Amino acid sequence: MIKSSILWLHKWLGIITGIIVLILSLSGCVYTFQDELKLWAYPEKYFIKDTVQTASPLPLSTLLSSAQHSLEKGQKITRVDLYPAKDRTWVFRAMKTDDSAFGHWNYYIYYKRVFVNPYTGSVQQVEDAKTEFFQLVLQLHLNLLLGKKYGHTLVSWSVALFALILLSGVVLWWPKKWKGKNLRRSFWIDTKVKWKRLNHDLHNVVGFYCLFFALVFAITGLVFAFPAFKKNYIAAFNLLQTKERVQQKHTSTALPAPYLNVQDNALVYSLQQYPQAEMLSIRLKKDTVREMDIQVRRYETRSGVFDWLYFDKKEGSLKEIKSSSQLRYGDKLSALNFDIHTGSIGGMGTKIIAFMASLCCASLPVTGYIIWFNKNKKRKKKAKKKSYQHHVDKCCE
């Protein structure tokens, strides 16, 4: 009785969310390698043709002015992604969204990326990121291209239901007897059976082998989707750390002042202090805001390994450094959430694993729908046969 109820739940939750799970899984497959594919697909944007190894970047304010002039009136740059490698351009982002709008093209009022040569100040390209392929893949994954208000809700609850489907699937997968044919079918696929049986076994066995990774995708997805879940998730893992890590105290450090602009000096200081950093990111704030911050990433493709540098623009000094290495367990997991979700946490090896696992997740709704279709067909055929037999019996009376 219990198992039949779980089967009913598993079936209908799968039918309701199957199409969305398929879209999320396939878009996740593509986005897994977006860092590498972008550099390959758009070398004219991300790389400088003629590099001079001894050259120093121009002041940030100069580059910002150059990038801003390349945009239309009313479009304002709010973020800068900097790459210290000598052959890379710097990316200046201008974005404005309408969270209540329906549809991807209405959600983004504008989204531009300006690729600037940091050594000459020349603009290499201005990209309309709203229509860029990998951005479309990301928005498909995040909100089905329906906009944040509508699509985000659909995706969030579909991920939550997917987690329930996975857990109910464990109960249904569990072999009645841990020996013989039943056990073999739970772990191995027999390609010699008829295609209906093969499809059923594919759903069963692939579901088992990708269960751990699928749950990781689901849980990290829920962290993105629900703030309350994220808060409790962080708190729960923080409890595992009995001894609290103390952030190293940082005394106020005066910045070198080669330029009049404090923001320029802050960037010069950051580049000098972190010569091995692969990426730096600045969220631009209003001129009236006294504080500015720079995120320093040790690795370009990993957002969870960082130092945050906080500067006082009025005093022209570094006030505080917050490092990911000093975070408590829960906070560190939260910081690594994107890296875990996309598979970038361990480099190319974990990306390949994430890609394969995501592909397996994409197969589950497909094989599940086929099982449902076959059973429906069989049920209708049986009902038709029963109706026909009843009609014959009635005629013979």
At 181-226, the pLDDT tens digits run 777 888 888 888 888 889 999 999 999 999 999 999 999 999 999 9
Place of tokens 């390949």: 352
**49 plus 31 within the same structural domain:** yes
Rounded to two decimals, what is the model's pTM?
0.90
| 193 part of a folded domain | no
The residues pairing with 80 across neighbouring beta strands, listed in sequence order, are: 92, 282
Task: Calculate the average pLDDT of the chain.
Answer: 91
**165 plus 269 within the same structural domain:** no
| 102 part of a folded domain | yes
Q: Is the pLDDT of residue 179 over 80?
A: no
**29 plus 151 within the same structural domain:** yes
**100 plus 228 within the same structural domain:** yes
Task: Report pLDDT for 256.
Answer: 84
**280 plus 163 within the same structural domain:** no
* Beta strands at 123-128 and 77-82: parallel, antiparallel or unpaired: unpaired
Q: How many domains is the chain partitioned into structurally?
A: 2
| 189 part of a folded domain | no
How far apart (Å, rounded) are the C-alpha atoms in residues 129 and 135?
Answer: 7
Task: Report pLDDT for 260.
Answer: 85
Q: Is the pLDDT of residue 296 over 60?
A: yes
| 191 part of a folded domain | no
Length of the chain counted residue by residue:
397
* 318 — pLDDT class (breaks 50, 70, 90): very high
Find the DSSP H helices in 174-326: 180-187, 195-209, 211-225, 227-238, 262-273
Of 326, 350, 376, which residue is a domain's last?
326
**94 plus 158 within the same structural domain:** yes
CA dihedral 50, 56, 60, 63 (to 10 degrees): -30
Q: Pull the structure tokens for residue 154.
A: 């659909």
Can you point out the beta strands (E) in the chain? 77-82, 90-97, 108-116, 123-128, 253-254, 279-283, 291-297, 306-312, 317-323
| 296 part of a folded domain | yes
Give the pLDDT mean for 91-109.
95
**225 plus 267 within the same structural domain:** no
**51 plus 115 within the same structural domain:** yes
Cα dihedral across residues 353, 356, 362, 367: positive or negative: negative
Give the pLDDT mean for 15-23.
96
Task: Report pLDDT for 192.
Answer: 84
**320 plus 331 within the same structural domain:** no
| 61 part of a folded domain | yes
Name the residue with higher pLDDT: 375 or 82: 82
Q: Which domain holds residue 266?
A: 253-326
CB within 8 Å of 333: residues ≥ 6 apart: 233, 234, 237, 340
Of 258-262, 322-326, 336-340, highest mean pLDDT: 336-340
| 306 part of a folded domain | yes
**13 plus 64 within the same structural domain:** yes
User: Contact at 8 Å (CB) between 317 and 253?
Assistant: yes
- 3-class SS of residue 114: strand
Residue closest to 341 by CA, chosen among 230, 245, 239: 230
Of 308, 326, 344, which residue is a domain's last?
326
Q: Pull the structure tokens for residue 272.
A: 């000098």
**318 plus 332 within the same structural domain:** no
> What CATH number should be reported for the domain holding residue 318?
3.10.450
Phi, psi of 116 (to 5 degrees): -120, 135
How far apart (Å, rounded) are the C-alpha atoms in residues 279 and 265?
Answer: 17
Q: What percent of the chain has pLDDT over 70?
A: 92
Phi, psi of 174 (to 5 degrees): -55, 120
Of 284, 299, 326, which residue is a domain's last?
326
**144 plus 13 within the same structural domain:** yes
| 192 part of a folded domain | no
How far apart (Å, rounded) are the C-alpha atoms in residues 194 and 86?
Answer: 59
DSSP class of residue 245 equals P
How far apart (Å, rounded) are the C-alpha atoms in residues 90 and 281?
Answer: 10
